């Protein structure tokens, strides 16, 4: 099963745009070619880092289609879906046709949904295709251990849990409640890798995979080996300075990474509204991070 294969680092490609903010699919293919030179356990196309909510449903499907074509079976491709139950279900069906190996289900747009309505949202998407689901618990979509157990019972295709809350206490309780029915992935950021691996996840998602795959894999290897001295050394030297820049403004977790890519000869490009591009002073700051990363580029 896919859940057993997801061990190590999940890569999260950005979605490049041209200066007029149209999709740059040639740039996407070029970036993915570089990423799959490295042994990620999977790639997620159009997740949060891929600006899923800045794309139309059709654009999201096309990004998945191109990513699948370039990856050509080298590693699983997981396609992001969301918005609402009807749109996400249609995206799920189209991504299955496009060759996706699984789906990453984002929270629905409606932030005030009752618990049973929220569970129905995931159930509808699970029934829409034959693909395994990875549920992304982020922002307002917060789950108790009992809720996760109910959802695992209700949605047979649910195989993977991606945590985006960073609450290690609650995540550990969820993992203890549900056990090996699901694959447990750390998903809030590279900077939380130590906490996630300390409670026993089998992998983590990395946006740094876009710019420094070797660093992402070194973090993943140290985490899997529970070598926390090495892991914390990598985080302190490389990750925390980058994440301090990303924390300057909401959405900069994408904007900063795209600028970093442009600076090292990859294809980042601008972000789409409502995200904002970094300013000139921040470009200079990112150049300092590029210099810091030189041993991993």
DSSP annotation of 270 reads P
Average pLDDT over residues 209-231: 98
The pLDDT confidence band at residue 297, using thresholds 50, 70 and 90, is very high
> In the prediction, which pLDDT does 59 show?
98
Q: Are 260 and 268 in contact (CB under 8 A)?
A: yes
Q: Is 136 a catalytic residue?
A: yes
Domains of the chain (ranges plus CATH)? 2-226 (3.20.20.70)
38: left (phi over 0), alpha (psi -120 to 50) or beta: beta
Number of H helices, E strands in the chain: 13, 8
Measuring CA to CA, which residue among 116, 164, 155 is closest to residue 137?
164
> In the prediction, which pLDDT does 99 show?
98
From the list 109, 110, 127, 136, the catalytic residue is: 136
Q: Is 162 a catalytic residue?
A: yes
> In the prediction, which pLDDT does 159 show?
98
Among the listed ranges 113-117, 194-198, 269-273, which one has the minimum average pLDDT value? 113-117
Q: Residue 100 pLDDT > 90, yes or no? A: yes
Residues listed for the chain: 297
pLDDT (tens digit per residue) in 109-121: 988 889 999 999 9
> In the prediction, which pLDDT does 243 show?
98
Q: Are 85 and 108 in contact (CB under 8 A)?
A: yes
Can you give the pTM of this predicted structure?
A: 0.97
> In the prediction, which pLDDT does 32 show?
98
Q: Residue 202 pLDDT > 90, yes or no? A: yes
From the list 162, 204, 238, 267, the catalytic residue is: 162
Measuring CA to CA, which residue among 129, 136, 135, 139 is closest to residue 98?
129
Q: Are 155 and 122 in contact (CB under 8 A)?
A: yes
> In the prediction, which pLDDT does 70 show?
98
pLDDT (tens digit per residue) in 158-178: 999 999 999 999 999 999 999
């Amino acid at each position: 099963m896919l859940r057993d294969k997801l061990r190590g680092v999940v890569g999260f490609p950005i979605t490049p745009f041209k200066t007029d903010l149209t999709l740059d699919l040639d740039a996407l293919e070029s970036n993915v070619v570089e990423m799959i030179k490295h042994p990620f356990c999977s790639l997620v196309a159009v997740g949060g880092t891929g600006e899923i909510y800045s794309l139309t449903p059709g654009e999201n499907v096309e990004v998945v289609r191109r990513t699948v074509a370039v990856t050509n079976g080298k590693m699983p491709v997981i396609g992001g879906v969301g918005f609402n139950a009807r749109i996400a279900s249609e995206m799920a069906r189209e991504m299955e046709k496009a060759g996706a190996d699984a789906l990453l289900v984002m929270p629905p747009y409606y932030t005030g949904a009752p618990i049973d309505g929220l569970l129905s949202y995931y159930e509808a998407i699970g029934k829409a295709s034959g693909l395994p689901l990875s549920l992304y618990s982020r922002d307002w979509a917060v789950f108790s251990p009992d809720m996760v157990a109910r959802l695992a019972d209700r949605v047979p295709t649910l195989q993977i849990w991606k945590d985006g809350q960073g609450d290690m206490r609650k995540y550990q309780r969820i993992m203890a409640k549900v056990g090996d029915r699901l694959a447990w992935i750390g998903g809030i950021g590279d900077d939380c890798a130590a906490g996630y691996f300390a409670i026993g996840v089998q992998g983590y998602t990395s946006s740094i995979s876009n710019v420094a795959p070797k660093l992402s894999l070194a973090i993943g290897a140290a985490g899997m080996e529970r070598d926390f001295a090495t892991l914390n050394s990598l985080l302190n030297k490389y990750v925390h300075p980058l994440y301090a820049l990303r924390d300057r403004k909401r959405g900069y977790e994408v904007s900063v990474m795209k600028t970093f890519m442009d600076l090292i000869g990859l294809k980042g490009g601008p972000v789409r509204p409502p995200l904002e591009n970094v300013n000139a002073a921040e470009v200079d700051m990112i150049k300092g991070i590029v210099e810091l990363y030189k041993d991993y580029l």
